Every structure is written in structure tokens, then in C-alpha cells.
Amino acid sequence: MRLETRKLLDKAFSGLGLISIAVMAIALLLILTPIVWRGSKAFVFKGTIEHRRVMLEQFHRGNAEKFNKDYAEVVAARAPIYDMLTDFEAGTEQRVSSIETEMDAKKERAKELKAEARVLKREGQTEEAEKLEAEEDRLKDEAKALKTQISELKESRTEPLESVIDALQELFGPMPGQRTPVLLRQQYGQTRWDRTLVKLHEVLYTEEWDYSNADAMGILIEKPRIDQFIGTEMESFFPYLEENISEMMQPRRTFYWQFITDKSKDSHIFGGIWPEVLGTIYLTIGAMIFAIPMGVIAAIYLCEYAKEGRIISFIRICISTLAGVPSIVFGLFGLAFFLNTIQVSDSKSVLAGSLTLSLLILPTIIRSSEEAILAVPRAYKEASLGLGASRWHTVLTVILPAALPGILTGIVISMGRAAGETAPIIFTAAVSVGAPLKLWQTLSQPTPALPWNIYNLCTEHEAVDEIRHVQYGMVFTLVAIVLLLNLGAILMRARISKKLRG
Amino acid sequence: MTEEITMKKIDTFAERSDDKKPRKTHIEAKDFSLFYGDFEAVRKVSMKIPKQKVTAMIGPSGCGKSTLLRSINRMNDLIPSTSATGEMIFDGHNIYAKNIDVVTLRARVGMVFQKPNVFPKSIFDNVAYGPRLQGIKNKQKLAEIVEESLRNAAIWDEVKDRLQANALGMSGGQQQRLCIARALAIKPEILLMDEPTSALDPKATAKIEDLIGELRKQYTIIIVTHNMQQAARVSDLTAFMYEGVLVEFGKTKQLFTNPENPQTENYITGRFG
Amino acid sequence: MSKKANTSLIMSDAASRRQRISSLLGQSILFLITSLSTITVFFIFYFILKDALPFFKAEGFKEFFTTARWYPSGSPAEFGALPIFVGTGLVTLGAVVVAVPLGIAASVCLSDLLPFNVRQIVKPVIEVLAAIPSVAYGFFALVVFAPLLQNHGGAILSAGVWIVLGPLIALLVVVMGDLITDKLRDKMNPKTAGAIIFPILGIAAFIFLYRLSAQLSGVEISSGTNALNVSIILGIMALPTVVSVSEDALQAAGRELREGSYALGATRAETIIKTIIPASISGILAAVILGVMRAIGETMVVWMASGNASRIPDPWYNMLQPVRTLTATIAGDMGEADHVTGSSRFHVLFAMAFCLLAFSFIMNLVSEIIVKRSRKKLGK
């Protein structure tokens, strides 16, 4: 090959390398951006009056006086809507009753004619009677037609109205004067402005699916609801609703940091994620309580006491095997051993989950601690021994303190790992719904936990689309916890390397 | 063959000594050998190291002088697969015997290493490390010991105002003197110094050498050095080792001016090593 | 000095015995704690196998490994796990295809191309990729990536072709063009030859890429939760492992080797491809194995975003169809099966776990042996 080509190839090769790094960075960005952006909206968003109502009534938070004033305004703003509904209903009634009167009149007339016809028949005026009978039949048919008209009228007015009311209830909560629904989620309207707009759209438009093309997927067709109400009292309902929606909901920028510390209400429709956060904290700390002493002691033994030989290399193989065991297998093992065999608790529990997680992170802790201990200069050890310290004393007073930052780095990283693992806790510790546990309950009771509930909320929840913000908020919280831990580790390591260099 | 010659020399050493006072032997090697696996790093060395004198060990790198030094407080135990034959007698006991308490041995034989190896703790804690090991908890007493040791190591004036500062912040020469203070704080009888100035600049070296001159009054000092001028300056006795064998051991003045062994002469005059 | 009197070198027999015993005791406690990992490994094997055996006893091996009907809750229950094995293999293969070339290129870049301070910036990127919890990846795959793939599948695929194949084919054109002009040197002025050959090759390559991407952009993806989605995400998850292990291997090849090659006039690319990579090939292999293990053992992403359809894609390499993997089956079915402890439906999940465990154990041993051997070869 010519030299130019070789140089060109060299450059292309470097380019490929750089592209790969760029791809990696872009992948990271693509994954983190939606999580961070939409996740932060669980905390900072435009909250409606309904949000403030939930806060006040369910969490006893906020200024009641000011709220009442606002709420009075909102009620006033919403009143015309409800008036229009009532008018429309009344209009329906009125129309029905006017037709009914007409129908009744016709029926009455028909009855009269029938009676007259009978009289005439008896008198022998058959021809006249037949005429009357024909008249009577016509009237009956007309009455029948009017009846159909009533039912048609009801159909064309009541059914659309009911569907409007359903949509409106999702938007604003129960109608004035309605009995309080049992489900909490039906007691309140939309708490977030973005969801409000979605629900508003549902009030304004109906959705239909067109399946005429059997090969392709169905096509969504949206029709303005107003078309169903042209010429009625409801004609101005939709424009009015659309124009005045912000007065009816009073959206305000809300910083809901209590999202982390609030309990959830009605399976995450309202409120925060405290039970999950607390569960994750319990599980992580529990795992660390078991894994840190075991891991650090094992590392000390391997570095300072063990004589390299078959047994030790076997132990090392086992440690790396343990590191390679799939996390779901840890979960099964936790189920089969901690729960079914030695029965640390009767049901799934934080304890069983922590134990399982601790086995999972044990190899990581051993390895990082070993590395940290080996990085301690031999000179320290010699100096201490040279002063007449015993081996154990040297380990405790010289080696461990010097290795501590490194050991901590490893511990912090494995904390992140323990906090984020899902598979090991599915069968050993996690439940979908639960209250925050007291400390002593962790020995016997299962807990919700962030990773598990993220899975649960985005696959098994009955209103998956309604609570996207909660899902994103949870993912954001979990990722933030893990990344903050890792950031801590990175900073700690930077300080160590600075110290070693300086 | 050199072994034979060396043995005789050492046997005659005491007789030829022109010192009037009877010299007490502090530590004695008898046919002492040390192996790293199969490699014999120290070969059947026999020597008597006198009390309260400075004994220097010189020789080309890899000659076993450091290994021999580290054998005296059994620091070589740390290296896997080492073994020793012969005897190393201290305080009437072979320190390689089974029932020897290595921890006590090391507390009585202090050591200063090639590179200053202060702990990443405060200056005070560094010096107090050894006394604390021996169970001294009284703060007053610890402070006394620390001050005395730092004074003995001629560093007190430089650090007395920052005893709680991290020892890693000191200069190399100060760190090495701190290491000496740390070794002195356990009140050893013997002080082993393994090339204590090799990592230091000339000025710091001079200070350490002065210090050694002071310390000889109280301690038996054994110093391994690369630097023959240093051996000549600071030591009373000098041992020359070559390939694990003790070639010549005698009064420093004599060894440097009139070596008996041609190998020693070659080394001293710089023909090899 | 008063102290000397009471610190005799000789320990009394009792003291010596006491010390020996306490040190023995201490060491054996330490040893016991250290061997906890060993005990755990044994326990894991034992307990998984214990619950897996009843399945094989009751149902035998043939149906499990060779048939394709997976109806564990039907009556009679059918336990044909072949589609699940195929699904696992498929997504793992996909993940390897994503992670290995990218990972090796990135590790070469990290070890040989980037200056030190840039490397300090890139390394945290890799660490963050490794740290993100798998459920977050799964969430991304299900909630963000799957709808994208479903609605704009064709566009994404054709863009992917440009991004992935574009640079490679450009490189190929340059090499081919150069080789051909070199051959023609005797007959033609190299400049004119180049002027003719490069455009021809370039246009051909462009047309090829264009037609490929046009074809792909017409593809409709019926479900965004499919093997392709999972493969890409698993590939990204396995990247950090591949990068860090193979970077270690490349670094271990040493300066001397590089200097030797540079001194002979090799370019950087030639040095890396012809000298460094061959020298560290075993470490790179170990990186690939560890990457495979990461992908095969991952649960949440596949459970959430693979579609969980237990049938073999048609044709088997069709990445656009939903698949089901071992890990997802265990995670998903245990919720229903753990009321029926003792039934085949329960034990079959342990049988699957055992297959996973055995596979990862063997892979781990292989990588361990490879690394050890390479260390010996490099004399370290």
C-alpha cells in the first residue's frame, strides 16, 4: 500500500474509534434525557386547583383560606358549564314533554275518534265509521312516530350528553351536587395542567377507530363533539370550556418536592413515592449491613493472611463465579433458601431481600476492597510491624485507615448496584402496594421498592397512561440516587489519586 | 573459599580489638543463612555486633546486606517462602527459635526504612503509635514520650508547633527523622537503618548523619548503606558483604585504609560494585 | 530502661500456646468469613438444582429442550422451552453484535487514541452507563424506545443503516480504490486512475446504501417490544463491561510492544491492529464473554421490552418479532407459579435457572482461564 493510503487508513481508523465513543456518549444522553426531563416534571409542573385541593384535603398542606378563595373563583368559573348542562337537560325535558303533549293530544283524539267510530258503526253508518277509523289509525301512527321521535330525541341528546358528562367528570371531578364517589381518583379532577389538556381534548373530541383496511392497523379518527350539539343549548358549551379552562383549573407552577416524601394515595394516582423510596433505603442499607463486614473481612484475609495456594485460588474462582451469577438466579436462590428453607420470615420480607442483595454485591465489595488494600504502600505495613505491632493491629490501625477511601469507593458503588437491582427482590422482598414500614417491620414484612414499582407501574397498573409522570418521577429518583452515589465514588477516587500523586 | 577466610577473621576480631574496655556483644549471627525459596540470599554469616556502636554494612546491590539487616528483626517473615538456618542470637536467645515472640522482638529492635514511610496520620500519632501499642494511654505520658523522641531525633524544634498536622506534609528529610523518632519512641535497644538517606538530598542526609552520631551514645545502630563515605563517616565498625557472604568485618578505619581482603579493597577503591 | 526487664523475648509455653490458639482461631474465623462466597456458590448450585431436578424427573429432558410448545398452565401442561432458548440466544446475539464492535473500538480509542485528560472525561460516561439500574434501561426500552420503534420503525432502521454501515463502507471504498489504483499503476497514471476509480466505487457504495435504507424504511414494525429493541438496549448495557475489560487487556500489552512497532515505521492503526490486538486477544475474548454473560443474565429489560411471546421468530433471525427469554420467563411466571410450589410449573423455572447458572459458570471459568493464560504469556 502507498504511504498516503496508510495514513488515510490510520485517520479513518482513529475516526472509527472516536465515532464509537461518540455513539456511546449519545446513547447515554438519549437514555438520560427523557428520564431527567420528564422525571423532573414529577417535581416541577403546572399544578391545577385540584392538585392544591388534594394537597389540602389529603395531606393537610397549604393555605386553606387562600385555597377557599381560589376555589370559590373556580366554582364560579365552572358554574356556567354546569348551567349549560342543566339547561340542555331541561331543554331535552321540555322538548320531550312538548312532543309528549302533542302525542297525548293525538292519542286522545284517536280515542275520541275510536269511540265516535264505534257509535257510528252501531248506527249503521259504516262508511263514515271507516273514514273515522282510517283517521284514527293515522293519528295512532303519528303518535307512534312521535314516540319514536322522543326516543330518538333522547338518544341524540342524552347519550352524547352522558358521554360529555363522563369526560367532564374526569376533567373536573364530580358534578356539583353529586354524591361523593368511593374511589379517591374520582373525587378529584385533573391535578396537572398537562393531563388537564389531554382530558380537555377528550371532552372536545370523540375518538373512533377505522378498521376498514383489514391489513393495516386501525386508524384513529377524531370528531369534534360540538357537531353533535349544533343548534342546542350546548352549542356554546365547548367553545366556552376551551376558552375558560385556565380559569376553571387555575394552573400554577408548582414545586412538589414532597413527591419523594409523600405517601401514595389510591395506588399512585395522587401523592408521592415515599413507601418505595423508604423500601429502597431499607433494602440497600440492609444489604450493606451484611455485605460490608463480610466483604471487607474477606478482602483483608485474602490480602494479608492467606497464603496463595489451591484453596485460595479456589475461593477466588468462587468469588468470580458468584459475580457472574445472573441476578434472577439470586432471586430464586433467595426464595428457595432464605424463605423456603431457613425461613427467615413467613412471607417475603425486607430481611430476605437484603440478604439476597448482600450476596449479590459481596464479590464487588471483596474485589474493590482488595484493590484498595493492595494499593496501600507496603512501607506502612513494614513500619508498623517494625514498631512491634501485631499483624491484626497493623491491619486495624494502619492498613484499613489508609485503604478506607478506596474501600468506601467500592462500597458506594455497590450501594448503587443494590439500590437499583430488581430481579433479586421480586421473589424475596417486593410488593406492589404497601405502606411505609417501621424499622422493626422490616424483619417480617415485604416492602414496595423503587425498582420493582417502576416495573409494576409501567406494566401492570390499571391506569398506565394516567400516571406516566409518577413512573418517570420514580425512574428519575432511582437514577438520581444511583448516579449521586457514583458521583460520590468518582470524586472520592479523584481525591485519592490526587493524594497519592501529591 | 572466601568463607573460610572470613570466619577466621571474625574469630580474631575480638582479639585484635584495640579497645581497652571489654566489648559487649549485642547481637550475634552464627552460621546464619537466609533463603528466598531456593535462593540463598545470606550465606552462613557469623558476626558479633557490639553494643552501642554504629555498625555499617556495605557491599554492591544484591549482596544480601539489607536481607541480613532485616533478618535481625525478622522483617523477612513478611515475604512468603523465606526460611532461615543457623542462629541469630539476641539477648541470649536465637530469635529464629520457635517460641520467640516476634512482636516483642520488633519492639526491642527498631527499624528505619529506605524511604521515609510515615503513616498518613498526624505527626503526634505517628510517634505515639508504638507507645500506644505497648498500652500507654495516659495523654501526659504519651506527650512526654513524643517530645523526648522528637527531641532525640532532632526534629522537635521544627514540628513542635504542628504536632497535629498530617505527617505527609513534611519534607522528605523531616519525614525520615520523624520515622527515626517513631522508632525511638518504642525505646528499642537496637536501631536498624536500611539505607536511611538514599531517598534524601545532601542537606537532609547530613542532618541524619549528625543524628546517628548522637544516637550511638544510647543505641546499638546497624546501618546499611550504599554510600561508602557515609559508612566511613558515621560508623565504628564496617562489614563488607558480597554475594551473600560476609567478606570482611572490622573497625571502620582499618577496613577503609587497610582492608585485608582483596575483594574488599577492590570494592572500596571502586574497581567493582 | 525498666521496660526491658519485663519484656522477655521468650514467651512462656502457656503464653505461646495462647497466642498460637488465638491466632489460629482468629485466622480460622477470617477464613470462614472469606469462604462465605464459596459456601454461597455451593448453596446456590445446590438449591437451584434441588428444585430443578423434580422437573426433569417428572417431565424428562426431551420435551423441555426440543419442542416449541410452552403452555405451563394448560392441561395437560406443555413445557417446550425451545422458543425461550432461541429467544435468549437471539437477543444475546443481537446484544453482542451491538456491544462488541462498538466496545472494542471504544476501548482501543480509550487506551491508544485519546489524550489523558479526555480519557478522564470519557471514563465517567462509561461508569454512568454501567451504573444506571437495569430497570431504568427497561423503562426506557418500554416507554420511550418501543413506541418510537413502532411508529417510526422504518425511519429508525434506515437511519441506523446509514450511521452503522456508512463509515464502514466509506472505509472499504478507500481501501478497495487504493488497491485497484495500485494494481493499475503500470498501465495508467495513478492520478487519473484514482480519479476514475474512486468516484465509481463511491457511487456504487452510495447506491447500495441508499437502496438498502429505502428498503428498510418501508418496513412496518407491528410491535415495538421486540428482539431488536431489547438487543440494542442490552448491547448498550453490556458496553461498559466490554470496554473496561478489553481496555485493561490493551493496556496490559505494554509500551514496549507499541514502541517496537512504531519504531519499524508502522502507523498507529497498523500498530494496534497488527500488534496490540493480537497480543491482547485473549483479554478481549474475555471481555466479550463477560459482555455475553451480562446480556444473558439481564432480567428487567427483556422482561419489560421483549414482548414475551414464546414462539420462535419466523424466520428464526427475525429481530422484529417479539421473543421471550429465560430470565423473563422465570421472573414473569414465578408470580403465578409460587402458589403451586411442588408442581412442574414451579420446578421448570428452577430448571431454567439451572441452565442459566450452568452456562454462566462455564463462561466464567472459560474467561478466567483465558485471562490467566494470557497473563502467563505476557509474563505478569
Ranges of each domain in chain C: 45-63+91-144+222-344
Per-residue model confidence (pLDDT) at position A277: 94
Within a domain: residue A16? no
Rounded CA-CA distance C167/B112 in Å is 61
Closest residue of A to C293, CA-based?
A324
Same domain (yes/no): A136, A105 = yes
Q: With an 8 Å Cβ cutoff, are B117 and A389 in contact? A: no
Q: What whole-number percentage of chain A has pLDDT above 70?
A: 98
| pLDDT per position as a tens digit, C61-117 | 888 888 888 888 777 888 888 999 999 999 999 999 999 999 999 999 998 888 888
Here the cell at position C188 is: 495508467
Summarize the confidence of residues A247-253 as an average pLDDT.
91
Same domain (yes/no): A327, A460 = yes
Cis bond before residue C76 (omega within 30° of 0): yes
For residue A401, list chain B residues with Cβ-Cβ distance below 8 A.
120-121
State phi, psi for B160 to the nearest 5 degrees.
-60, -25
Domain boundary among A255, A280, A303: A255
Q: Which ipTM score applies to this complex?
A: 0.89
Contacts of A502 (CB under 8 A, 6+ apart): none
What is the residue type of C320? L
Give how far B99 is from chain C: nearest CA, Å.
Answer: 6
Whether residue C265 has pLDDT greater than 60: yes
| pLDDT per position as a tens digit, C64-78 | 888 888 888 777 888
pLDDT-derived band at A216 (thresholds 50, 70, 90) equals low
Closest residue of C to A329, CA-based?
C353
Please spell the DSSP secondary structure of A119-156, one letter per residue: HHHHHT-HHHHHHHHHHHHHHHHHHHHHHHHHHHHHHH
Same domain (yes/no): A300, A432 = yes
Helix axes C116-131, A468-501, angle to 10 degrees: 140
For residue B106, list chain A residues with Cβ-Cβ distance below 8 A.
385-389
Same domain (yes/no): A213, A271 = no
Within a domain: residue A38? no
Domain that holds residue A234: 51-255
Q: What whole-number percentage of chain A has pLDDT above 90?
A: 37
Superfamily of domain B2-120+187-268: P-loop containing nucleotide triphosphate hydrolases (3.40.50.300)
Whether residue A500 has pLDDT greater than 70: no
Same domain (yes/no): A114, A214 = yes
Contacts of A13 (CB under 8 A, 6+ apart): C268, C269, C272, C273
Closest residue of A to C171, CA-based?
A12
DSSP H/E element including B237: strand B237-242
Identity of the residue in C27, C222, C365 whose CB atom sits nearest the CB atom of A305: C27
Within a domain: residue A260? no
pLDDT-derived band at A499 (thresholds 50, 70, 90) equals low
Is A99:A153 a contact under the CB 8 Å cutoff? yes
Same domain (yes/no): A95, A163 = yes
DSSP assigned state of B236: S
Number of domains in chain A: 2
Residue written as cell 430481611?
Answer: A351
Closest residue of B to C16, CA-based?
B99
Identity of the residue in B91, B134, B187 whose CB atom sits nearest the CB atom of C9: B91
Length of chain C measured in residues = 380
Interface test with B, best of C9, C11, C19, C22 (most B CBs within 10 A): C9
Residue written as cell 554494612?
Answer: B57
Here the cell at position B49 is: 555486633
Report the mean per-residue pLDDT for chain A.
Answer: 88
Residue written as cell 439481564?
Answer: C298
Rounded CA-CA distance C12/C23 in Å is 16
Q: Is the CB of residue B135 less than 8 Å away from at least one CB of chain C?
A: no
Q: With an 8 Å Cβ cutoff, are C10 and B101 in contact? A: yes
Per-residue model confidence (pLDDT) at position B6: 43
CA A456 from chain centre, in angstroms, equals 9
pLDDT-derived band at C207 (thresholds 50, 70, 90) equals very high
Closest residue of C to B219, CA-based?
C1
Summarize the confidence of residues A161-183 as an average pLDDT.
87
CA C66 from chain centre, in angstroms, equals 26
Whether residue C270 has pLDDT greater than 50: yes
Interface test with C, best of B27, B88, B108, B148 (most C CBs within 10 A): B108
Please spell the DSSP secondary structure of A37-91, one letter per residue: HHHHTTTEEEE-HHHHHHHHHHH--S-HHHHHHHHHHHHHHHHHHHHHHHHHHHH
Rounded CA-CA distance C304/C308 in Å is 8
User: In chain B, which residues have pLDDT < 50?
Assistant: 1-22
Same domain (yes/no): A191, A131 = yes
Helix and strand numbers, DSSP H then E, in chain A = 17, 6
Compute the count of residue pairs across chains A and C with CB atoms less than 8 Å apart. Answer: 278
Superfamily of domain C45-63+91-144+222-344: MetI-like (1.10.3720.10)
Summarize the confidence of residues A280-302 as an average pLDDT.
94
Of C149, C158, C161, C162, nearest in space to C221 by CA:
C149
Per-residue model confidence (pLDDT) at position A491: 86
Whether residue A46 has pLDDT greater than 70: yes
Q: Give SS3 for C364.
A: helix
Within a domain: residue A122? yes
Is A87:A141 a contact under the CB 8 Å cutoff? no
What is the residue type of A414? S
| pLDDT per position as a tens digit, B23-55 | 688 899 999 999 988 889 999 999 999 988 999
Within a domain: residue A366? yes
Interface of B with A (CB under 8 A): 73, 75, 78, 80, 103-108, 110-111, 113, 115, 117-121, 129-130, 133-134, 179, 182-183, 186
Q: How many CB atoms lie within 10 A of CB C45?
A: 18
Within a domain: residue A360? yes
For residue C16, list chain B residues with Cβ-Cβ distance below 8 A.
99, 101
Summarize the confidence of residues A256-273 as an average pLDDT.
88
Same domain (yes/no): A231, A290 = no
Per-residue model confidence (pLDDT) at position A495: 79
The structure's pTM equals 0.85
Same domain (yes/no): A156, A303 = no
Contacts of A223 (CB under 8 A, 6+ apart): A205, A206, A208
In degrees, to the nearest 5, what angle opens at C-alpha C264 toward C-alphas C259 and C270?
Answer: 80
Same domain (yes/no): A187, A287 = no
For residue A15, list chain C residues with Cβ-Cβ distance below 8 A.
167
CA distances from C69 to C57, C60, C337 (A): 19, 15, 18
| pLDDT per position as a tens digit, C290-306 | 999 999 999 999 999 98
Q: Give SS3 for C332.
A: helix
Whether residue C7 has pLDDT greater than 70: no
Whether residue C178 has pLDDT greater than 70: yes
Domain coordinates of chain B in residue numbers?
2-120+187-268
For residue A383, list chain B residues with Cβ-Cβ distance below 8 A.
113, 117-119, 179, 182
Closest residue of C to B103, CA-based?
C9
For residue A377, list chain B residues with Cβ-Cβ distance below 8 A.
117
Q: With an 8 Å Cβ cutoff, are C26 and A422 in contact? A: no
Q: Is the CB of residue C49 less than 8 Å away from at least one CB of chain A?
A: no
Q: With an 8 Å Cβ cutoff, are C170 and A12 in contact? A: yes
Per-residue model confidence (pLDDT) at position C139: 94
CATH number of residue A462's parent domain: 1.10.3720.10
Q: Is the CB of residue B107 less than 8 Å away from at least one CB of chain C?
A: yes
Summarize the confidence of residues A169-185 as an average pLDDT.
86
Per-residue model confidence (pLDDT) at position A127: 81
Interface test with C, best of B73, B98, B99, B218 (most C CBs within 10 A): B99
Within a domain: residue A329? yes
Is B72:B222 a contact under the CB 8 Å cutoff? yes
Summarize the confidence of residues A229-248 as an average pLDDT.
86
DSSP assigned state of A116: H
